Structure 1
Amino acid sequence: MTTLKLKTNLRCGACVKSIKPLFDAEPGVTRWAADVSTPDKLLTVEGDGVSGARVGELLRQKGYEIVGEMPAETPATPTKARDDTQPTTTYYPLVLILLYLLGAVGLAEVAMGGFDGMRAMRHFMGGFFLVFSFFKLLDVSAFAQSYGSYDIVARGWLGYGYVYPFIELSLGAAYLANFQPVVTNVITLVVMGVGTVGVVQTLLARRKIRCACLGTVFNLPMSYVTLLEDVLMAGMAVMMLLLVLSHG
């Protein structure tokens, strides 16, 4: 792994925020940090094969540049921050959210006097989309930039990344309200199916990038856990669609 310590002309927190989506989505960048409180406006970048030239290209996309380097590129010991061998730590936010959703759905079923599988799935999917859209909506611009690094639609049309959180929000409300179940499940199947394609392409290319499923609040790596999440939601949509049609 290589570590670069670079002097830049980044001036404030807003400058750092503007480059965040680019560095978060850059393959090969494992960790980065910017300290604009120092005179050198130090930018530290770690990764496999990362170069000053590439960092400079990323900065110039937002109107900034490297003004010096200190020290020269040096090998660094891999850190535990992005160690994919520690799933309980890396995916802690995702696991916690899923446990909360399962607990809430279970309590709702108890309150309703009995377990109904279709109702439970509908409530779980509604909660899933509402919670995940919430984190994306905290910083829609950053999410759109990060999502565009791997989603096949957002890669060609950046606007899809801005619309996507609202699609999830609408699906969440539709599931909880039991609004047009056939239409809702078909849309879910299409959205999650398309998302799965981008995830599979990224995994096959072995690109080490951040997963945007929880927006840019948490540093979740793209992995087979992400793929499982998309496939699971698509599968539940298919199951619910079949149940709705069979009862129709």
Structure 2
Amino acid sequence: MTEPKTAVLYRMVMPTHTCPYGLKSLHLLKSKGYSVEDHWLKTREETDAFKAQHEVKTTPQTFIGDERIGGYDDLRRHFGQRVSDPKAKSYTPVLVVFAVTALLSLVIGWLTGQLLSWRTPQGFIGLSMVVLAMLKLQNLEKFSTMFLNYDLLARRWVPYSYIYPFAELGAGLLMTADALNIVSIPVALFIGIIGAVSVFKAVYIDKRELKCACVGGESNVPLGFLSLTENLMMILMAVWMLIMPF
């Protein structure tokens, strides 16, 4: 018979705090078929004493056999699982926004009986603008700081870096509702053209490697093709709304 796999886990479980990484480590070990000897560190003193004894800086800590595996990320590496780098650049945040707003626009089109009409792509772009503006407005100060790295108008007139998310939100809401096109179209054209020119210059002419502020100031989205796409979508939809029959 195969000898049962066992592991020893030390994690913080205090009256006011249960370590989430300890819970993740426990779940991961059990999902891999391990019988876990689960030791709770119930006070700050117990935790500090454990870290001093084993010369570690963090908990949880997992031991398998005579080997100390380490924390949750170390445990994932031990099992050959990917560990994300919080500093790594990724387009995932923008792709998630576009995927969710595309699904929302399809649902709205289906509910209103206009799934195959021009309102579905218009709704997709409008909703994308609304969600992207919402992400920017979560921390307006950080967004404006990142935006000033590359936007040509904002670098000449700093208040534009604070106005932009509100303009994007307003135009997106009006576009989604198909209301006040006399307002939404020029606003979308204005911010879209300036944004597209700014991104194109920074990325393709100046060859600068910057983070995009498109999903807010906390993101690690690289300034590039998807950033340019956001602006081009606004321009194309605004032009389409100008020439389409009302």
Is the CA contact 2:144–2:217 (under 8 Å) kept in the aligned structure 1? no
- 1 CA distance for matches of 2:109 and 2:129? 19
Tell me which amino acid in the other structure corresponds to 1:233.
M
- 1 CA distance for matches of 2:136 and 2:199? 17
- 2 CA distance for matches of 1:174 and 1:128? 12
Is the CA contact 2:192–2:234 (under 8 Å) kept in the aligned structure 1? yes
Report SS of the residue matched to 1:110: helix
Please show how residues 121-200 of structure 1 align to structure 2 within 5 Å: 121-200=121-200
Is the CA contact 2:142–2:218 (under 8 Å) kept in the aligned structure 1? no
- Specify the structure having the higher radius of gyration (Cα): 2
Tell me the percent identity.
27
Please show how residues 216-231 of structure 1 align to structure 2 within 5 Å: 216-231=217-232
RMSD: 1.9
| TM-score for the superposition, normalised by structure 1 | 0.60
Tell me which amino acid in the other structure corresponds to 2:135.
F
Is the CA contact 1:182–1:241 (under 8 Å) kept in the aligned structure 2? no
- 2 CA distance for matches of 1:124 and 1:236? 10
Q: CA offsets per residue over residues 196-242 of structure 1, 9 Å max, x none? A: 11101101111111100011122101112211221122112111221
Deviation at 1:146?
1.0
Q: How many residues align?
A: 161
- 2 CA distance for matches of 1:224 and 1:168? 19
The runs of 5 or more residues in structure 2 that have no matched partner are 1-84
The runs of 5 or more residues in structure 1 that have no matched partner are 1-78, 84-89
Q: Which has the higher contact order (CA 8 A, sep 6+)?
A: 1
Is the CA contact 2:125–2:233 (under 8 Å) kept in the aligned structure 1? no
| TM-score for the superposition, normalised by structure 2 | 0.61
Is the CA contact 1:82–1:221 (under 8 Å) kept in the aligned structure 2? no
- 2 CA distance for matches of 1:123 and 1:187? 16
Q: Which runs of structure 1 show a deviation greater than 6 angstroms over 4 or more consecutive aligned residues? A: none
Identify the residue that residue 97 of structure 1 maps to in structure 2.
Answer: 97
Tell me which amino acid in the other structure corresponds to 1:236.
M
